[in-house]
Copies of this chain bind each other. A is one copy, B any other.
Amino acid sequence: MAVKFQGKYLDGFVKPEEFNNMNREIELCHNILHQKNGAGNDFLGWLNLPFQYDKTEFEQIKKSAEKIRNDSDVLIVIGIGGSYLGARAAIEFLGSQQYNNLDKNKLKVYFVGNTISPSYLNNILALCEGKELSVNVISKSGTTTEPAIAFRVFKELMEEKYGKEGARERIYVTTDKARGTLKELSNKEGYQTFVIEDDVGGRYSVLTAVGLLPIAAAGFDIDKIMLGAQKACKDFETPGEHNDCYKYATARNILYRKGKSIEIMASYEPNWQMMNEWYKQLYGESEGKDQKGIFPASVIFSTDLHSMGQFIQDGSRNMFETVISFKQAGEDYFVKKDKDNFDGLNFLADQPMSEINKKAMQGTILAHVAGGVPNIVLEVDAMDEENLGYIVYFFEKACAISGYMLGVNPFNQPGVEDYKVNMFALLGKPGYEEQREKLLEQLSK
């Protein structure tokens, strides 16, 4: 398993000595991170997590996952942001975007509590009718509005369907180890609980119970995921020529300082799509602050070559691309010969589609580079558990280093509170009366 940084498509945009000129800055950021004396150093639990995690809880995750697979048709996962994106991204990456449609996957996994749309909730409730259910609610405080509303709905549904006792056996709570609404409720009701550590932020939490319980319930091997993360943790332990994770962090900062203010994460595998969303949270929330940051965008090619392709080829030159390339990406398909060659495609016959897809990628990289878009290529071995663990750690560590290079605290997210405060005020939550008056005045203007 590996993620390799391929920098050759930066030629013409970044000179080799520019990387060398960054070496001392990288070392500085590395030291800040590993000596844990930088901004946000309360949130570095993810750094050695691949080795230092609670092994007893890990076994319990596997047991609970097995129980869910045995007694349920549907697992409802309630969470938002980091309590949602990592697990969904992993399941679609390892399984399929069509995971819930495929007959071979007996357990369906639906994510709720990440929106306040009633249509969405009603649709998921319809999908639950007549099915055996389990619920995993994920929230550190238990008071975040979106998941709290969803949990109120599903707690009631479960108690109606299975009774208090029965529901208790099917509700799994991932929350703070000691405090908060959900923890208190779990103590009272006797729910199985898992821990959201204080020193691992939401966007860094996919390798904790937050991500691992839904991923394991979906039938994937979380031991292998941790193995992959361990390998990455070792591979990127020190700065130096071998450290592809740091090279990625460096390249994006060099490009940003040259005025490239948008990063487009691109993959040729649709099953990567939610990983793009996971990446957007990780980087957007870590770097987008103090009026700075690379705007994270994403595409799935070749699909989006027919929507965003024109812009990338020839529009505003304020972007760079990071392309995820897989050596192997699941079962292949061979285009067959047609005796009439009605569509002129016989020149592709007997080629594996994966090869055609790879040629599309190579052709696109060269076209975009010629069009003035620097391309970073990250080469990944395969779309499996070990590589997933490796990828997650690669991006997490690169993000921390990149954020320190940018000069921000990569581990806070003060801006996320602003909408919440306004929302509470407008909803009439007790304690927000003054803000409410101010906002109502602004709205009525």
Contact = CB atoms under 8 A, between A and B. Distances in A.
B118 A98 contact: no
A427 to B, nearest CB: 5
Given A291-B314, A315-B291, A336-B152, A117 B268 contact: yes
Given A101-B100, A345-B149, A353-B118, A363 B315 contact: no
A327 interface: no
Nearest to A114: B303
A383 B117 CA distance: 13
A419 B270 CA distance: 19
Interface string A275-316: 001001100110111111111110010111111111111111
Interface string A78-104: 001110110000000000111011111
How many copies the complex holds: the figure is 2
A423 B268 CA distance: 14
Interface in A357-394: 357, 359-360, 362-364, 366-368, 370-372, 383
Given A307-B281, A315-B295, A335-B152, A359 B423 contact: yes
Given A142-B343, A347-B430, A416-B310, A363 B316 contact: no
A60 interface: no
Interface of A: 8, 11, 80-82, 84-85, 96-98, 100-104, 114-124, 126-127, 142-143, 145-146, 148-149, 151-153, 156, 181, 185, 202-203, 261-262, 268-271, 277, 280-281, 284-285, 287-297, 300, 302-319, 329-333, 335-336, 338, 342-345, 347-348, 351-354, 356-357, 359-360, 362-364, 366-368, 370-372, 383, 413-416, 418-430, 439, 442-443, 445
13 contacts: A81-B306, A81-B307, A117-B329, A118-B354, A119-B383, A120-B269, A285-B308, A287-B315, A313-B415, A359-B423, A359-B427, A364-B419, A371-B415
Closest 7 CB pairs of A and B: A288-B311, A288-B315, A81-B306, A363-B422, A313-B415, A281-B307, A314-B415
